[in-house]
Amino acid sequence: MKSFPKHVLIAGGAGFIGQNLVRALLIRDTDIQITVVDNGEHLTTTALPTESVRLTWRQCDIRQRDVIAKVFDRTPFDVVINLAARAGVADSIANPRLNFEANVIGHFNLLDLARTHGARHFVFASTGGAIIGDGQPPLTEDMVPNPLSPYGVSKLVGELYADIYQRCYKFNTCCLRFSNVYGEYSAHKGNLIPMFIKSALKGTKAQLFGDGTQERDFIYVGDLVEGICRVLEREPRGVIQLATGQRTSANTLVALLAKVLPDEHPLDFEYHSSRSGEVYQTWCDNRKSIVLLGDYIGTPLEAGLRHTVNWYRSHYRVRGGT
Helix boundaries (H) for 261-321: 287-293, 301-315
The one catalytic residue among 151, 185, 312, 316 = 151
Residues 6+ apart with CB under 8 A from 27: none
- Quick check: helix, strand or coil at residue 289? helix
Amino acid identity for residue 126 in this structure:
S
User: Among this protein's residues, is 280 annotated catalytic?
Assistant: no
Q: Is 265 within 8 Å of 199 (Cβ atoms)?
A: no
- Please state, in angstroms and rounded to a whole number, the distance separating the CA atoms of residues 183 and 209: 21
- Quick check: helix, strand or coil at residue 72? helix
Q: How many CB atoms lie within 10 A of CB 5?
A: 23
- Computed on alpha carbons and rounded to an integer, the radius of gyration of the chain in Å comes to 19
- Please state, in angstroms and rounded to a whole number, the distance separating the CA atoms of residues 175 and 150: 18
- Kindly report whether the peptide bond that precedes residue 138 is cis, defined as omega within 30 degrees of 0: yes
Q: Phi and psi for 11 in degrees, rounded to 5?
A: -80, 135
- Please state, in angstroms and rounded to a whole number, the distance separating the CA atoms of residues 303 and 282: 22
Catalytic residues: 151
